[in-house]
């Protein structure tokens, strides 16, 4: 077997992107199902009407904290991996390994801090995210065990990015599959057979993540990897860590602010539309999360190609990779937009069977995803900035869409419409449209400059 799965510097870019994107898209979908498994089993705890329902709600309250843990993994993973790919493209494998080793140390350090914080402040944090007196017990039982496995989550998610960044996307997919399958098997054993309830669900999850973490480390210290995790690269260096943190700030903000966005939407919708509007928002966000996975998979598949060839000073191949990525993302987002506008009920039925909620969510979905057709431009351009190592612009674009535009619009637009709930849902497409226009304009200017500099200067 060759030392790398693919040659990032030659061959058809379209075929290469497809071969890298399919495993990453599969990983995205499996990872989502991974997160749903616990809730499916917990929801069937007996009696369902009392214990199952309250336990499911309690575990659901833990989701924002779990998302924060994932966001911290992304901070080093998606900040360091593109820089490591660029270094490899330059022919500097030692630098690639240094970035990966420093990232591993930072992931472990962050894990220790997060574990202590979540164990000490679990109850007040869960209360903030909506735990009641009826559900706080279940939430604490789940979170206190899950927190102990933070290091496994960080290593699995964070270091797996360094596997896919080398082009080993199938190996990266197996990392997710191993954990998902093991979790599915262990959940009913711990929850029901051992009578551990939500504690069993949490234990099954962290044990599954532990096995995945061992798999990742075994690969990165084995003979098949291009970049090796070596002891001499574990000592953090500011010149390595800080640029990676700066580049990783964009995906970190994108993931960590999801909980804040949810709170803003739900508080406004509860005020203007009541429980049915909040329920619809849950359905809409679930649809959006699931529907965006292929776009995320495409950009993750393109990242190694763009980063490697940027480092290898091959501007023609960088341009072609971006063009293929843009066409694929735009084609998918346009198709998704058309299906949502034509068949919103089918999407709503995927997540609820309540007729009243389906009717309301179908109406709201057409508004909420009105600008989805052009969103492929946004994600292709924004993630290409990350792949090129442009930390400042990628960070600005991440802040622009969610913090500068979306959150203010949630509160401003209802002042200009009679239907206040409609205005809240409208905030999403308005923010998306303005973000796409800004992103495309900035990309056209800065991408041209980057390619011109690449062609005319001895260094990148």
Give residue-wise pLDDT tens across range 46-89: 665 456 667 777 777 787 788 888 889 988 888 899 999 999 99
Contact predicate 172/166, CB 8 Å: no
Q: Which two tokens stand for residue 259?
A: 């909980």
Provide the pLDDT for residue 453: 87
Mean pLDDT over the full length of the chain: 88
Provide the pLDDT for residue 445: 93
In whole angstroms, give the CA distance from residue 447 to residue 398. 17
Provide the pLDDT for residue 242: 94
Higher pLDDT, 194 or 40: 194
- Give whole-number Cα distances, 246 to 88, 133, 435, in Å: 20, 40, 21
Provide the pLDDT for residue 327: 95
- Residue 8: pLDDT over 90: no
Mean pLDDT of 167-191: 91
Provide the pLDDT for residue 104: 97
Provide the pLDDT for residue 133: 85
Provide the pLDDT for residue 278: 80
Provide the pLDDT for residue 337: 96
Peptide bond before residue 259 is cis, with ω within 30 degrees of 0: no
In whole angstroms, give the CA distance from residue 391 to residue 408. 25
- Among 20-24, 139-143, 415-419, which stretch is predicted with the lowest mean pLDDT? 20-24
Q: Which two tokens stand for residue 423?
A: 């205005």
pLDDT, tens only, 394-449 = 889 888 988 999 999 999 999 999 999 999 999 999 999 999 999 999 999 999 99
Provide the pLDDT for residue 381: 94
Provide the pLDDT for residue 253: 85
Q: Which of 37, 47, 42 is nearest to 57 (CA)?
A: 42
- Residue 130: pLDDT over 90: no
In whole angstroms, give the CA distance from residue 312 to residue 334. 33
Provide the pLDDT for residue 159: 95
CA torsion through residues 397, 372, 345, 295, sign: negative
Q: To the nearest whole percent, how much of the chain has pLDDT over 70?
A: 94
Mean pLDDT of 117-123: 94
By the 10 Å C-beta count (0-12 exposed, 13-18 middle, 19+ buried), 354 is classed as middle
Backbone angles phi, psi at 8, to 5 degrees: -75, -15
In whole angstroms, give the CA distance from residue 258 to residue 285. 10
Mean pLDDT of 244-250: 90
End-to-end CA distance of the chain: 32
Higher pLDDT, 179 or 357: 179
């Amino acid at each position: 077997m060759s030392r790398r799965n693919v040659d990032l510097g030659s061959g058809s870019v379209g075929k290469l992107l497809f071969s890298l994107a399919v495993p990453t898209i599969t990983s995205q979908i499996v990872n989502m199902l991974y997160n749903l498994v616990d809730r499916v089993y917990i929801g069937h705890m007996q009696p369902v009407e009392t214990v199952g329902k309250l336990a499911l709600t309690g575990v659901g309250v833990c989701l924002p904290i779990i998302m924060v843990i994932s966001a911290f993994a992304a901070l080093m993973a998606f900040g360091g991996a593109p820089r490591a790919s660029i270094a490899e493209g330059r022919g500097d494998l030692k630098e690639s390994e240094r970035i990966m080793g420093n990232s591993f140390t930072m992931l472990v350090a962050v894990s220790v801090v997060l574990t202590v914080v979540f164990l000490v402040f679990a109850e007040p944090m869960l209360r903030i995210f909506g735990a009641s007196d009826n559900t706080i017990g279940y939430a604490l039982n789940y979170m206190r065990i899950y927190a102990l496995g933070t290091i496994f989550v960080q290593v699995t998610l964070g270091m797996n990015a360094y596997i896919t960044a080398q082009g080993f996307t199938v190996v990266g997919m197996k990392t997710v599959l191993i954990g998902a399958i093991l979790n599915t098997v262990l959940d009913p054993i711990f929850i029901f057979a051992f009578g551990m309830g939500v504690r069993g669900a949490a234990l099954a999850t962290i044990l599954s993540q532990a096995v995945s973490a061992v798999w990742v480390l075994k690969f990165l210290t084995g003979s098949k990897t291009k970049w090796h995790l070596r002891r001499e690269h574990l000592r953090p260096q500011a010149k390595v860590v800080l640029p990676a943190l700066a580049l990783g700030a964009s995906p970190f903000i994108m993931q960590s602010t999801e909980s804040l966005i949810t709170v803003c939407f739900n508080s406004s919708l509860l005020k203007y539309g009541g429980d049915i509007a909040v329920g619809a928002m849950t359905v809409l966000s679930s649809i959006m999360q699931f529907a965006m996975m292929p776009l995320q998979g495409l950009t993750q598949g393109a990242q190694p190609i763009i980063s490697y060839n940027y480092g290898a000073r091959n501007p023609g191949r960088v341009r072609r990779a971006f063009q293929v990525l843009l066409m694929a993302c735009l084609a998918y987002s346009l198709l998704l937009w058309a299906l949502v506008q034509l068949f919103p009920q089918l999407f709503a039925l995927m997540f609820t069977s309540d007729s009243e909620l389906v009717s309301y969510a179908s109406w709201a979905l057409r508004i909420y995803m009105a600008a989805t057709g052009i969103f492929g431009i946004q994600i292709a351009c924004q993630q290409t900035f990350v792949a090129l190592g442009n930390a400042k612009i990628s960070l600005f674009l991440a802040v622009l869409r969610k913090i500068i535009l979306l959150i203010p619009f949630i509160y401003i637009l209802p002042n200009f419409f009679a239907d206040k709930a409609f205005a809240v849902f409208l905030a999403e497409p308005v923010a998306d449209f303005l973000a796409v226009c800004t992103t495309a304009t900035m990309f056209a200017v800065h991408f041209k400059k980057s390619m011109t500099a690449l062609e005319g200067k001895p260094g990148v």
